[in-house]
Structures are given as structure tokens and as C-alpha cells.
Structure 1
Amino acid sequence: MFDTMRKYAARWRASTRAESVSARERRAHNLFEAAAVYVAACAEDDQDRIDEAAGWVSPEALSFGVNELACRAVIALARERDEPPGAVARDLLGLPAA
């Protein structure tokens, strides 16, 4: 009788662990999280991570997130350098000053 109870408890614990792992894997990703991972992976030339992040959200959402990240990054750098955002953006892209 105790052997049967022990087997049942072991099966129940195993199924609970499997459910929690699959729930974490299926967790919905935020579009900004996807954009941050995507851009960082591009900077590090990590194709596997790029593909993974690109699969988290729709292409339109990823594009919006990358655009928002770029805007925030240029604004932060402009404040840090005490320069206008346009000058910082041109400098980052290697373009001549306007």
C-alpha cells in the first residue's frame, strides 16, 4: 500500500515539475524585451539568439520595439554628450554633420 502511494506521489511531483517548465517556456514575451534581446544579439552577431528573439513577437511589433529602443538610445547618448539627438544619430551612423 505504501509503495503505491509513493509511486503516485512521485508521478504527481514529476508532472507538476513538467507543467511549471512548460509554462515558463510558453511565457509571453514583451515586445521591448524581444527588441532588447534582438538588438543585443545583432551587436554580438549571435544568429541563434536573433532568430529566437524574432520568433517571440510579430515582425511589426519587433520593428516597433527596435525603433523605440533606437530612439531611447539616441536620446540617452545625446543627454550624456550634451549634443542634439540629430547630431548623435548622424555620428552613430558615420554621416557628416548637417
Structure 2
Amino acid sequence: MFDRFRKARAGIVGSVLPEARSERKRTHNLFEAAAAYVSACAEDDQERIDEAAGWVSPEALSFGVSELACRAVIALARERDESPRTVARELLGLPAT
């Protein structure tokens, strides 16, 4: 019974105290990984690219980067009052259709 009490107390203390939280390994979701990966690529920071690429599987990272690209194109299209297709082609340096 006291063992269960100690474990429960340790869980509560670990969730409240910052130093206890830092001892646990932090997991990253695929969107955090994608955001870190893309921003590191934009800044040409190979160390951060490698770090973010290790947070999730390559498949999950690919999905996250794709989702980020879609959301970015949609946001830019709304901001510019243009179609997502026009914005995407412009960002890639492709001729207008």
C-alpha cells in the first residue's frame, strides 16, 4: 500500500516540479518535428535538421512536412487573395498557367 502511495506521489511531484520534468525524455509529435525540420532547412542548419529528423519516423516527418506545406500555401493564398495553385507555382518559380 505504501509503495502505491510513493509511486503516486512521485508522479504528482514529477508533473509539478520543472527539474523533475526535465529528467524525463520529452517526446515530440510529428507536427513539432515538421515545424522544426522545415525551419531548420530554411535556415540551412544541418544540426537542427538532423535533430528534428530523429524525433519521428521518416514517414511521419514526410506527412508533417506535407501538411505544413499545404497549410502554408492556403494561408498565403488567403493573404494574397489568390488561388492556392497560383501561390504554389509562384513559390516554386514555375510559370503561371
TM-score greater than 0.5 by the shorter chain: yes
* Rg larger for: 1
Normalised by the length of structure 2, the TM-score is: 0.78
CA displacement at 1:27 relative to structure 2:
1.2
Gaps of at least 5 residues in structure 2 are 1-16
Cα distance in 2 for residues equivalent to 1:94 and 1:17: 47
Which residue identity does 1:81 align to in structure 2? R
Aligned counterparts, 1:1-98, within 5 A:
20-23=21-24, 26-98=25-97
More helix by share: 1
- How many pairs are equivalent? 81
Change (3 A) 1:18 1:79: closer
Taking structure 1 as the reference length, the TM-score comes to 0.77
Structure 1, unaligned runs of 5 or more: 1-15
RMSD of aligned alpha carbons: 1.6
Q: In structure 2, do the counterparts of structure 1 residues 95 and 29 end up closer, same or farther at CA, with 3 Å as the change threshold?
A: same
Stretches (4+) displaced over 4 A: 16-19
Deviation for aligned residue 1:21: 2.8
Identity %: 77
